[in-house]
Structure 1
């Protein structure tokens, strides 16, 4: 078995796709810390993390992020993660994350009754989480919210609040109130994050000029640097594989 840092992410069952984007894990079996840069990606992450073979798993929920953050994944760390689409916050997690912008909430050790037996490997974890989320699927969903998120994702965050309001039959004021109360930021701010994330796929292909609706090259560079900490050219080099999100895109 390799002694290097590794990660793996898989897509959930299609029946869960409206709420769960992917399920994954990472492990640092080496004796040195892995330096990474976490970038905003518009997802809400539920982590089950252990820092050593004899340590218990800690469970925490990470809210939306609006800026890059450098982190060190310590030797021996293993983590399993569920990456949710924001609509899952209300319908699956049944909470608000407005107070978790750029931060996290520690959850009880018995959250969802996930045990160490469920955390043996990614396939076991995936099966357990899929079972839990399936049981939590709501009977009904506010169709305005479902349509809103479908449009935001399908347009890579490029539709204006006005357009989204018109197509969902939900006023701009109500939409922004929902976003601020539920997620801690405006719809426009969230859409900007999704546009950045969509641009990462282009940068992963070596395209260092805007493919999406940026004003010009200067605007593009400024936006990429805002969310990654570096300009597009440096980001594309991904020195030491530290931009994990970009690395995953390059693998696809």
Structure 2
């Protein structure tokens, strides 16, 4: 197993957000997480990426415990992470955005860099950033401002940023959010390319059908707790998931 969460509890402001979360992700697999708004899906990605601390439990990556280390050190282990929204980066070119994924400090700190320093950094990281863009068929957009592009291209560019870290694990947070139904095929194609490259993926999305169609194993959750983990079809067909997540009766 490449990644494992072991009995993870998270509290924010004294409120329990995650309770006894445990799952494993095999190397080269795509692990999907579904659940209604507020279920704790993004919090799980925040825990893995070091943004949110645990009260109890551990995050284990390649046999090493990552619990309690800073986000930039997590990224240094080769864990890339996309964001739900790219609205804070619309003034950047696509190449600048992808280059930020290689900074040792946080992306948020990078936004405070002067234009001159950011441009200089982009030049030194051009090769890896362009490789990631080309892998997702985005090379033609490299020098265009992110804000001029469609939601789908913005999401793909952020996926390229996560990929540019160069590691084995990519965390994808709502990659189809704001993307039209006709453009979601491009997001699915990017996922297929990541899998072809041998990347391990943890995928959450508001569209359970998209997740189920693009994952090897699935975890359904609600109110910060695991409902069921296993084969995607079996998880979505279970009475507990229908009752608690889909709002359907046990029958």
* TM-score (normalised: structure 1): 0.30
More strand by share: 2
* TM-score (normalised: structure 2): 0.30
More relative contact order, 1 or 2 (CA 8 Å, 6+ apart) = 2
More helix by share: 1
